[in-house]
Amino acid sequence: MSMSDKYIWMSRKELAVAGGISPRTLYNYMQSRMSELVARGYKAGKKLSPSVVRYICEEFEVHLQCS
């Protein structure tokens, strides 16, 4: 994954693994900012949109591992 395309559609589990955090920690992060996530297009049970992935990474300092 290059820096230019790191904010892609991905599941919560994929984001947690790529960010080196547990899925439970990511869930807790998301619960605390649910209204902001919904405003950016978050829908439960669906993959996270690039804008949601970017918001989570920036808001919670989740650093995705780039190959």
Tens of pLDDT, residue by residue over 3-41, are: 457 789 999 999 999 999 999 999 999 999 999 999 999
Q: How many domains does the chain have?
A: 1
Tokens of 13: 């589990």
Q: What's the pLDDT at 33?
A: 94
Quote the domain boundaries for residue 16. 3-60
The kind and range of the H/E element at 51 are helix 50-60
Q: Cβ(22)–Cβ(61) under 8 Å? A: no
Say if 65 falls within a structural domain.
no
Q: What's the pLDDT at 56?
A: 94
pLDDT band at 2 (very low <50, low <70, confident <90, very high): very low
Residues paired with residue 48 on neighbouring β-strands, in sequence order: 10
Q: What is the arithmetic mean of pLDDT over 35-60?
A: 93
Higher pLDDT, residue 30 or 66: 30
